[in-house]
Amino acid sequence: MGVFTVPIQVGDPGAERFESFDALVDTGSSNTAVPASVLRALGVEPYRTAMFEMADGSQAPMEIGRTWVRVNGDVELTQVVFAEEGSQAIIGAITLEELGLGVDTIKRQLVPVRRLRI
């Protein structure tokens, strides 16, 4: 697919204050991940811990919370992972689906997709 980033904003639980990032688009990642210190500074609280498989095959427990994410002007309440300090923000498949976005692998950009209700 190729690796690319997109500008996103991650908000506080009240959707009043947002931080901007360039997030790696990773459809192989289930969840959006943001450095834990940024989420905590925004007032995002973890509500549970879950095991995640890392890119190298190892497993690690990570905290999960919910907050607002803005991409291309659209805002959605989504699940976020409290990632390691210094790691790049990642926008994962769940958030992309919630926002109705897909990946154009040729142009390396996010594109609107038709939502299906079957």
Tens digit of each residue's pLDDT (9 = 90 or more) over 43-63 = 999 999 999 998 899 999 999
- Answer yes or no: is 64 within a domain: yes
Average pLDDT on 37-41 reads 97
Q: Total domain count for the chain?
A: 1
Domain membership of residue 69 (yes or no) is yes
Q: How far is CA 46 from the centre of its chain?
A: 15
117 in any annotated domain: no
| Any domain includes 118 | no
Encode 13-35: b = buried (16+ Cβ within 10 Å), e = exposed.
eeeeebbebebbbbeebbbbbbb
On the question of pLDDT at 1 being above 80, the answer is no
Q: CATH number, domain at 33?
A: 2.40.70.10
Total-model pTM:
0.92
β pairing state of 74-83 and 32-35: parallel
Domain hosting 79: range is 5-112
In a domain? residue 98: yes
Residue 42 is encoded by which pair of tokens?
Answer: 């925004």
Query: Is position 66 within any domain?
Result: yes
* Percent residues over pLDDT 70 in the chain: 98
pLDDT of residue 80: 98
Could you tell me if residue 59 is inside a domain? yes
